[in-house]
Amino acid sequence: MLYLENEEIQITEDAMTFAEVKDLYNKDRRNQSKPYFKKCITYIYWAYKKDGEFKQLLPSKRRNKAAEIAGVDKEEMDNDKSIKAFVKLYLELQSTPSEHLLYAAEKRVEETIDWLNSIPIKKVEKRKIQVYYNVPENDEKQSQYIMVETEIDNSDEVKKGMLMANMLADQLETLKKKIIKENTQQKSQGRLFDTMKGSK
List the domain range (segments joined by +) for residue 60. Answer: 1-94
> Is residue 109 domain-resident?
no
Taking each helix axis from N to C end, the angle separating 81-94 and 97-118, rounded to the nearest 10 degrees, works out to 130
> Is residue 38 domain-resident?
yes
> Is residue 171 domain-resident?
no
Say if residues 9 and 3 touch (Cβ distance below 8 Å). Answer: yes
> Is residue 161 domain-resident?
no
> Is residue 136 domain-resident?
yes
pLDDT given at position 196? 47
> Is residue 9 domain-resident?
yes
pLDDT given at position 81? 94
Per-residue pLDDT band for 178 (boundaries 50, 70, 90) equals confident
- Beta-strand runs (E) in the chain: 2-5, 8-11, 122-135, 138-153
Instruction: Check whether residue 79 and residue 124 sit in a common domain.
Output: no
> Is residue 49 domain-resident?
yes
- Measured distance CA(22)–CA(16) in Å, rounded: 6
DSSP assignment letter at 16: G
Instruction: Check whether residue 25 and residue 90 sit in a common domain.
Output: yes
Instruction: Check whether residue 152 and residue 69 sit in a common domain.
Output: no
> Is residue 181 domain-resident?
no
How many domains, the chain? 2
- Summarize the confidence of residues 126-145 as an average pLDDT: 75
Mean per-residue pLDDT of the chain: 83
Task: Tally Cβ neighbours within 10 Å of residue 21.
Answer: 22
Residue 197 has pLDDT above 60, yes or no: no
Instruction: Check whether residue 129 and residue 88 sit in a common domain.
Output: no
The structure's pTM equals 0.58
